Amino acid sequence: MKASEVTQMTDDQLKDELLKLKKEQFNLRFQKASGQIDNTARVRQVRRDIARIKTAQRSRAVAAPAN
C-alpha cells in the first residue's frame, strides 16, 4: 500500500483497513511462532502499512480544527 493510497481513503476506510491489517498481523505472529510462515517479508509490509494509516489518522486529527 502506498502513502498516496492512504491519503485518498476516508476516515471510515482507514479504520476498516487498520482493523484488517491488525488481524493479519496477529495471524502472521502466530504463523511465525509455529514456524508455518511462508512470506516473512509480509510481516514488515503489514507493520509499515499500519504505521502509514496511523500517521494519516493522526495528521488528520491534528489538522482538523478543534471545536
Cα angle 45-18-23, degrees, rounded to a multiple of 5: 75
pLDDT in tens, the chain (67 residues): 888 999 999 999 999 999 999 999 999 999 999 999 999 999 999 999 999 999 999 999 999 877 6
Would you state the pLDDT for residue 67? Answer: 60
Q: Are 54 and 18 in contact (CB under 8 A)?
A: yes
Report residue 18 as a C-alpha cell. 487498520
Q: How far apart are CA 42 and CA 47, in angstroms?
A: 8
The pTM is what? 0.89
Q: What is the model's pLDDT at position 65?
A: 76
Are the C-beta atoms of 17 and 9 separated by less than 8 Å? yes
**Can you give the pLDDT at residue 22?**
98
Closest CA to 28 of 38, 16, 14, 19: 38
